[in-house]
Amino acid sequence: MVNFQLDEMQEMLKELAREFALEEIRPKAEHWDATSTYPKETILAAHEMGLLNLHIPEAYGGPGLGSMEEVLVNEELAWGDPGFATAAYATALACAPIITGATDAQKEVWLRKVAEEGALASYAVTEPGAGSDVAACKTSAVRDGDDYIINGSKMWITGAGHADFFFVLAKTDMDAGYRGMSGFIVEKDAAGFSLGKKESNMGQRCSDTRSINFDDVRVPAEHLIGGSESGGWMNAMKAFDVSRPNIAAHATGLARASYEHALQYSGERKTFGKHLHQHQAIQFMLADMKTKIEASRMLTWKSAAESDAGIRNTESAAHAKRFAADTAMEVSTDAVQVYGGYGYSEEYPVARLMRAAKVMQIYEGSSQVQRMIIGREITKDL
Ligand SMILES: Cc1cc2nc3c(=O)[nH]c(=O)nc-3n(C[C@H](O)[C@H](O)[C@H](O)COP(=O)(O)OP(=O)(O)OC[C@H]3O[C@@H](n4cnc5c(N)ncnc54)[C@H](O)[C@@H]3O)c2cc1C
């Protein structure tokens, strides 16, 4: 039987996240975006409240909650502000391959650092010449005694300017394609490691995105995730089965915020003697926005529920991420349309939401990449 009712604990967690979004995120969101301010204090406060890094197991000091709880919280945080939600989720994304592939001793160090000390982390896979095509990465890690020496650079790394450590995907065998990739932990103060400048992005400007560079960075062999070479690719990709339902939840929260602003405005603004929502063309637009939001949430919940039930959710995560990201773009664009000229002004929140939506169709695997994954999944047995 399918039950769409949340249990008492899930309702309480969702409510807690909503209150946090209302009181701690929304009042500051416009300022963060306008001044490109990284919301570090509020991220740490959310972590303290038990709203971040929910999937870190209890054995390593985390809350040990499921994917369903995580998506409920992430929809609310992004409803508060999508830039905040992205910035705050970076650490959970970096922890995903550690949870999946690290040794117990590695989990004890790195997951506990996040859960108990509030450490921040970033997931560093994309390179200047390799985004959708991850296997084209050129960053290398060469064994030297008890260490590895890493050379190369990564691009578009969320949270990089504030991260205490990084999950880094590098090639330990340059000739073996994706099979030659391994995951490493690199600390921010490692000699030879440097940060690029903060990118000036279209939206989500409070989130810190930048390149990172490795110039003969020496890391101890204990920092090789899982303790053996070559599992890096699978680990980094499995992280997406965890993260994509959460990005879909962010997109749903963004779309819901846009829709709510548009609905409210449609009851305030009059044209031709009627409120905007009394014009059927506007009412249909609002109806379509709501349908897409409901569908996004259902796809997101289904993928999260599959993950919690131990069912491989690669396909459902791709459906949810693709549909919800496209919905965020469409609904936020329609919200601007409902506001008319005022929607084009940064005086109103819908312009910021529309700018924030675009990247959701690009990062964590673009909408095209999600279709490639779905296509591969549905045709694999033909
Ligand atoms: C704000 C922001 C934050 C990010 N955060 C992180 C992060 O924390 N960590 C990290 O590792 N990366 C991060 N990324 C990188 C992001 O995941 C990549 O930008 C994304 O995967 C796309 O790669 P690309 O930019 O190199 O585009 P490309 O791979 O060059 O693709 C360009 C366009 O072509 C399309 N395309 C590519 N190949 C195909 C194909 N075979 N068929 C059809 N269409 C195709 C793509 O969908 C895209 O529209 C971030 C990016 C941004 C913008």
pLDDT (tens digit, 9 = 90+) per residue, 216-251? 999 999 999 999 998 889 998 899 999 999 999 999
Domain ranges of the chain: 8-119, 122-233, 237-379
The whole-number average pLDDT for the span 347-365 is: 97
**Closest Cα partner for 124 from 88, 161, 175?**
161
pLDDT of residue 271: 98
Q: How many CA atoms lie within 13 A of 252 on its CB side?
A: 26
Q: Quick check: CB of 68 below 6 Å from ligand 1?
A: no
Distance 367 CA to ligand 1 centre (A): 10
Identify whether 127 is a catalytic site residue.
no
* Contact by Cβ (8 Å): 364, 134: no
Q: Quick check: CB of 92 below 6 Å from ligand 1?
A: no
Q: Quick check: CB of 295 below 6 Å from ligand 1?
A: no
The class of domain 237-379 in CATH terms is mainly alpha
* Contact by Cβ (8 Å): 123, 167: yes
Give the number of the atom of ligand 1 that is nearest the alpha carbon of residue 369. Answer: 47
Q: What is the pLDDT of residues 282-302, one digit of tens each?
A: 999 999 999 999 999 999 999
Measure Cα distances from 320 to 52, 63, 248, 286 in Å: 21, 25, 6, 21
pLDDT of residue 2: 76
CATH 2.40.110.10 fits 122-233, yes or no: yes
The whole-number average pLDDT for the span 342-355 is: 97
CATH number for the segment(s) 8-119: 1.10.540.10
Measured between its terminal Cα atoms, the distance across the chain in Å is: 30
Q: What is the pLDDT of residues 50-88, one digit of tens each?
A: 999 999 999 999 999 999 999 999 999 999 999 999 999
Give the number of the atom of ligand 1 that is nearest the alpha carbon of residue 207. Answer: 1
Measure the CA–CA gap between 36 and 272, rounded to whole angstroms: 40
Query: Is residue 261 very low, low, confident or very high in pLDDT (cuts 50, 70, 90)?
Result: very high
The whole-number average pLDDT for the span 183-206 is: 97
Q: Quick check: CB of 136 below 6 Å from ligand 1?
A: no
Residue 359 has which token pair? 């990247």
Measure the CA–CA gap between 76 and 273, rounded to whole angstroms: 36
pLDDT of residue 1: 64
**Nearest residue (CA) to ligand 1, atom 24:** 131
**Nearest residue (CA) to ligand 1, atom 48:** 366
Measure the CA–CA gap between 154 and 199, rounded to whole angstroms: 13
* Contact by Cβ (8 Å): 138, 152: yes
Using DSSP bridges, classify how beta strands 165-171 and 121-124 pair: parallel, antiparallel or unpaired: parallel
* Same fold? 122-233, 237-379: no
Distance 296 CA to ligand 1 centre (A): 22
Average pLDDT, the chain: 97
Q: Quick check: CB of 209 below 6 Å from ligand 1?
A: yes
Residue 309, pLDDT > 90, answer yes
Give the number of the atom of ligand 1 that is nearest the alpha carbon of residue 86. Answer: 3
pLDDT of residue 73: 98
